[in-house]
Structure formats: C-alpha cells, structure tokens
Amino acid sequence: MSWNIHPSDILLNEDQIQSGVERVALEISNTFPTNEPLLMIGVLNGAFIFLSDLCRRIQRDIAVDFIQISSYGQNLCSSGNITIKKDISLSVFGRSIILVEDIIDSGHSMVFLQQYFALKGAKKIYVCTFLDKKDRREVPLNIDFCGFTIPNHFVVGYGLDAKEQHRCLPYVAIINEEKE
C-alpha cells in the first residue's frame, strides 16, 4: 500500500526543518564546553538524516555511533519488550552522550535506551529528538533538545517512515492511517 502525499499534508517544510535543526545545534553547542568529549548516538533507522544534518552544524568535535532497537510496527505502542538489534561499537563508559531520535511517542523506547546506557556506565545521558508527540507520552521523560513538538498524527519524511515508505522526503508530512 502506498500513501499519496498532497501539499496540504505537509506539516514542516524544508526551511522550517532547517531552522529547527540550526536552533537545536546552537543549543547543543552552547550547552557543552568545547573541551568536553561528546558522543552522539543515533537511533536507527529514523534518526540518520536528522543526526547527519545536526552534527554538521555543531561547532565542535563529535564522535558519532548508532544503535537499532526492535520496532513494533507503526500502529502500535511499544511494549516493555524492546530488544537491541544493532549495538554501538564505541564505549560510553564515563562519557557524556546525546541520544538522538527521530520522534518520541509513548517514550518507552527512549526510557529503555536511557536505562541501557546508564547500565553501560555513561556519565550523563542527554535526549535529543527531532519531533516530540508530547500528548502520546505514557512514561515520564525529560527531553533536553527538541526540534518540534507536533500534534498526535502519524508523520513521515526527513528520516521517518511508514513501512519503509517516504523516509527520504525532505519535508515532514502527515499520513492518514485509514488509507492503509
């Protein structure tokens, strides 16, 4: 099944996205002293576009790694049953890390990742997300850096997919799940 995207479905256009990324990059640049080693960990697959734009706008040296966790299908909420599909290669022990997500929905995935990296000995764990569907939260979660808070719609583009479709769109659009 494919979803057609009409101009009226666009929630964030390219210019809006790029100014949001610039703002988040500035916030991150201003938060960390330039002599502090910083590691950004992107959550695959969705965060790869946001992270690649973001890290090129941050005025400091950054190490980058990626992790992938089990997904649960876009129509469902994550259960407590999350597993690691691909782990990072770098060590987080004693380091400040920034976890970079495409979108935070229920919050279960991010809480799982915070606990996972705390157990691996990360010194401080920051949360950065491109999008936040705040109204959907099921667990308390503090977000340190956020691109945009959005209403409760299923969105695609700029890294976010619906069954692997529309991930590489340069904008973010709402798709109507009833069309599935």
Measured CA to CA, the distance from residue 16 to residue 14 in angstroms comes to: 6
Q: Does 159 bind ligand IMP (CB under 6 A)?
A: no
Q: Does 147 bind Mg ion (CB under 5 A)?
A: no
Tokens of 26: 């500035």
Q: Does 102 bind ligand IMP (CB under 6 A)?
A: yes
The DSSP element (H or E) to which 14 belongs, if any, is helix 14-31
If the CB atoms of residues 109 and 114 are measured against ligand IMP, the closer one turns out to be: 109
Instruction: Choose among Mg ion, ligand IMP, none what residue 78 binds, the Cβ cut-off being 5 to 8 Å by kind.
Output: ligand IMP
Query: Of 14-22, 52-60, 101-109, 118-126, which segment contacts ligand IMP by CB under 6 A?
Result: 101-109
Closest contact distance (angstroms) between CB of 34 and Mg ion is 29
Q: Does 107 bind ligand IMP (CB under 6 A)?
A: yes
Number of H helices, E strands in the chain: 3, 9
Measured CA to CA, the distance from residue 127 to residue 28 in angstroms comes to: 11
Tell me, what DSSP letter sits at residue 119? H
Site residues (CB under 5 A) for Mg ion, limited to 13-52: 43, 46
Closest contact distance (angstroms) between CB of 61 and ligand IMP is 27
Task: Give the angle 80-82-139 at the CA atoms, nearest 5°.
Answer: 45
Q: Does 101 bind ligand IMP (CB under 6 A)?
A: yes
Q: Does 104 bind ligand IMP (CB under 6 A)?
A: yes
If the CB atoms of residues 30 and 132 are measured against ligand IMP, the closer one turns out to be: 132
CB atoms closer than 10 angstroms to residue 136: 14
Q: Annotated active-site positions, please?
A: 105
The DSSP element (H or E) to which 111 belongs, if any, is helix 108-119
